[in-house]
Amino acid sequence: MKNDYVVFEVDTVKFALPSVAVDRVERAVMLTPVPEAPAAVLGVVNDAGDVVPVLGLRGRLGIEERDVVLSDRLVFSSANGRRMALLVDRISDVLDIGPDAARAADEIWPGVSFLKSFAGLGTDVVLVQDMGALLDPEQERDLAEALAAMAGESAADD
């Protein structure tokens, strides 16, 4: 159980998160844009009254972000004291990735900050995601400010 990972795909790239870090997976819905949010933030969703930022990984891969499609999924997790979700194309598996199959990301891709490690699974390479490193401290602050401004606009509209 401790080595179980949820494997998901973004474009042709396979990523993984430890299953203990995944709160749940839901069918993607339309996102509400957040003006002035960092580029990685695609928008927000309302999750039982909580505003949850949705992040994309395509930009990190040098691929242009795209609109949400019906088959997309939202992977809900938490990092840095904030609930967030990742927009992914599909969930492909739940796998046991032992420590012997993984190598630290910096060993293979020096300077990469948003991944914990790479794991070789047969002919596939899986990028193990670090949710806490998706946004740097400045982006976290910008997101908090953008969400606060958005909440202020909503209150003014009421």
In this prediction, residue 14 has a pLDDT band, given cuts at 50, 70 and 90, of confident
Q: What is the pLDDT of residue 12?
A: 85
Q: What is the pLDDT of residue 96?
A: 80
Contacting residues for 134 by C-beta, under 8 A, at least 6 apart: 40, 55, 79, 84, 114
What percent of the chain clears pLDDT 70, i.e. is strictly above it?
A: 77
In this prediction, residue 18 has a pLDDT band, given cuts at 50, 70 and 90, of confident
pLDDT in tens, 29-53: 999 999 999 999 999 999 988 999 9
pLDDT in tens, 49-105: 899 999 998 988 888 989 899 999 999 999 888 899 999 999 988 878 776 766 665
Compute the chain's Rg from CA coordinates. 16
Q: What is the pLDDT of residue 52?
A: 96
Q: What is the pLDDT of residue 119?
A: 56
What percent of the chain clears pLDDT 90, i.e. is strictly above it?
A: 42
Q: Please indicate whether residue 120 or residue 50 has the higher confidence score (pLDDT).
A: 50
φ, ψ for residue 65, nearest 5 deg:
-65, 155
What is the pairing mode between strands 90-96 and 82-88?
unpaired
